[in-house]
Amino acid sequence: MKLSKVLALLCMALTATLFSCSGEDGERGVAGSDGAPGTPGQPGAAGVNCWDLNGNGQEDEDEDLNKDGEFNALDCQGADGDDGQPGDPGADGNAEVYTVTFKGIANGFNSYSQDMNELDGIVENFSEWAFLGYVSKGSQLFPVPGAIEKGPNTDTFFYTLFFVTDSEDPKLGPRATLNHYELDFQSGYNPTSDDVDDFIVVAIKSNVVNSSKSAQVGIEAELKAAGVDTSDYYAVMDYFGL
């Protein structure tokens, strides 16, 4: 029994000692010095210049947009802007194109002239029309006015003039005429069937009215601007979808 009391007293004394050793928290200590800086990271990749359209880092010719020999901010393009408002409708294009073919035009004379009756009632206002002429010889087509080779592969030529006039007879279409000359224009030339086969006239109506120039000049300018060689019959036909 005495031993139990002694042990109990010892426990109480130890507990009192523990509680008596627990004081209040002390003040915060002084902060330590900063640590040494870390190792720098690797450099980032170079950016892309705004003028470098394909991002290859090269000064490509097509990236010098203002063609001043420099590649800088003046060559940079922003994002596409919004679409503008639709413009007013343009004038109608050439809607009427006709071809007239005269067969076997070698008549033994230095002139050939025929009314284009196929255009009767079509060509009402002569000033609105342009006319292109071509003379065939075998598989070849020679534009007229122009030089045409004599006979089969002779390397000699004659010259043919071509023009169209408004017929005086309202029942007839415009009149197409060919005049043939030696190259020196000192005398006429009478082509034979070895020289020429057929004569083709292309009649083109211009719906664009311009008092400062004729329909002929306007149509020829339009074809030239479109890259069409008027001496090439097939190129003209292709342009007009024929």
Distance CA 133, CA 110 (A): 17
Helix (H, G, I), strand (E, B) or coil at 8: helix
Asked if residue 224 belongs to a domain, the reply is yes
- Residue from 98, 88, 91, 93 nearest 123 by CA: 98
Asked if residue 77 belongs to a domain, the reply is no
Which run of H or of E encompasses 235? Answer: helix 233-239
Amino acid in position 203: A
Q: Which residues of 115-133 are buried (b: 16+ CB within 10 A; e: fewer)?
A: bbeebbeebeeeebbbbbb
With beta carbons less than 8 A apart as the criterion, state whether 178 and 113 touch: yes
Asked if residue 37 belongs to a domain, the reply is no
| Whether residue 231 has pLDDT greater than 80 | yes
Q: Which residues of 145-178 are buried (b: 16+ CB within 10 A; e: fewer)?
A: eeebebeeeeeebbbbebebeebeeeeebbbbeb
pLDDT in tens, 87-128: 665 544 545 899 999 999 988 899 999 888 888 878 888 888
Give 146 or 86, the one with higher predicted confidence: 146
Distance CA 224, CA 242 (A): 18
Cα angle value 212/216/222 (rounded, 5°): 85
Distance CA 108, CA 148 (A): 16
What is the 3-state composition of the chain as percent helix, strand, coil, each rounded to the nearest 5?
Answer: 20, 20, 55
Amino acid in position 172: L
The pLDDT value given to residue 18 = 47
**Which segment of 14-28, 41-55, 159-173, 222-236 scores lowest on mean pLDDT?**
14-28
The pLDDT value given to residue 190 = 93
Asked if residue 1 belongs to a domain, the reply is no
Amino acid in position 51: W
Give 4 or 147, the one with higher predicted confidence: 147
Asked if residue 131 belongs to a domain, the reply is yes
The pLDDT value given to residue 95 = 58
The structural domain count of the chain equals 1
Domain that holds residue 187: 97-239
Asked if residue 185 belongs to a domain, the reply is yes
Asked if residue 120 belongs to a domain, the reply is yes
Give me the percent of the chain exceeding a pLDDT of 70.
Answer: 81
Asked if residue 24 belongs to a domain, the reply is no
Task: Summarize the confidence of residues 28-53 as an average pLDDT.
Answer: 81
Helix (H, G, I), strand (E, B) or coil at 205: strand
